[in-house]
């Protein structure tokens, strides 16, 4: 399974980076191959200063070795070894009318000292962070995500949509990071599903990503915008940074397992503002977005 999923994310990385370069028309992804001293490594691809994308990363990694003490405590296990692989992406477009997008699909194995698998699971999801709310974009992103879920179980979408709303919540701000999508973790073999069936589900979601995001980019990338629109985008990006550094378990896992710092912090946008006691004008488009972030809604 570990080889099967790693081969899948290698192909998916190629497919996504090729599509995004084509949309941008100017910038290309820079590739870094890196190795982790304790075991494993990855392939980081970053795009910057393009026509459409200000900064983005589409990274894959496969790391292994002894589980760090901090993570032993987190998983409530003893001295075990692990293998983890996944694809993680964050795309920050230039135009404030185009949403930021994040996605991650990952697989984890844990072993005893004899090398026997004692636990294995999948996790991941995809979510959208707009700066200006276009309801039809939110509906499209969620509809595509729902279709991927419905192909496997009609209960998946409402469950993983709810988990996404709960997970990407900036509790210190009492607001969502974005308008959600899907979030799932610890998908393990049980009486209902084999690990192969979970593989089929997670790859179905991964394969839906470009269909969910690319039409939105194409529709919004050339819309006119003002300096104030851009300022609002940078203020909201500050909230994105806050979530990733304060709450995100993937970021914390990377930092606690001696991960590659450039890859871990790749998700942070290049230009951000923190304005003191910032509030949008009553009745404005900015306030409209904020109202939705404070009260997550059903989109499909």
Identify which of 104, 106, 100 has the alpha carbon closest to the alpha carbon of residue 89.
104
What separation in angstroms does the CA of 91 have from each of 34, 56, 199, 217, 229?
21, 4, 25, 11, 18
User: Which residues are known catalytic residues?
Assistant: 102
Contact status, residue 53 vs residue 91, Cβ threshold 8 Å: yes
Contact status, residue 237 vs residue 272, Cβ threshold 8 Å: yes
Burial class of 5 by CB neighbour count within 10 A (0 to 12, 13 to 18, 19+): buried
Contact status, residue 270 vs residue 93, Cβ threshold 8 Å: no
Q: Please count the other Cβ atoms lying within 10 Å of the Cβ belonging to residue 228.
A: 11
């Amino acid at each position: 399974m570990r080889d099967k999923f790693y081969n899948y994310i290698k192909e998916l990385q190629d497919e996504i980076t090729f599509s995004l370069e084509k949309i941008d028309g100017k910038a290309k992804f820079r590739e870094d191959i890196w190795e982790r001293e304790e075991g494993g490594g990855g392939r980081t691809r970053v795009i910057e200063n393009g026509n459409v994308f200000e900064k983005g990363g589409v990274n894959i990694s496969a790391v292994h070795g002894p589980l760090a003490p901090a993570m032993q405590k987190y998983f409530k296990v003893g001295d075990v070894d692990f293998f983890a692989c996944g694809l993680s992406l964050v795309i920050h477009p230039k135009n404030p009318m185009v949403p930021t997008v994040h996605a991650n699909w990952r697989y984890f194995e844990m072993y005893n000292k004899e090398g026997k698998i004692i636990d294995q699971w999948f996790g991941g999801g995809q979510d959208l962070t707009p700066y200006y709310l276009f309801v039809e974009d939110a509906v499209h992103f969620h509809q595509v995500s729902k279709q991927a879920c419905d192909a496997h179980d009609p209960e998946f979408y409402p469950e993983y949509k709810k988990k996404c709303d709960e997970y990407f919540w900036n509790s210190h701000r009492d607001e969502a990071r974005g308008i959600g999508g899907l979030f799932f973790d610890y998908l393990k073999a049980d009486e209902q599903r084999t690990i192969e069936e979970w593989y089929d589900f997670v790859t179905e979601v991964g394969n839906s990503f470009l269909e969910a995001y690319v039409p939105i980019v194409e529709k919004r990338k050339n819309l006119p915008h003002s300096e104030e629109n851009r300022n609002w985008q940078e203020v909201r990006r500050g909230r994105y940074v806050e979530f990733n550094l304060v709450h995100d378990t993937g970021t914390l896992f990377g930092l606690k397992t001696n991960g590659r710092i450039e890859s871990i912090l790749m998700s942070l946008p290049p230009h951000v503002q923190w304005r003191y006691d910032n509030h949008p004008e009553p009745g404005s488009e900015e306030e409209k977005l904020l109202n939705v972030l404070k009260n997550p809604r059903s989109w499909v």
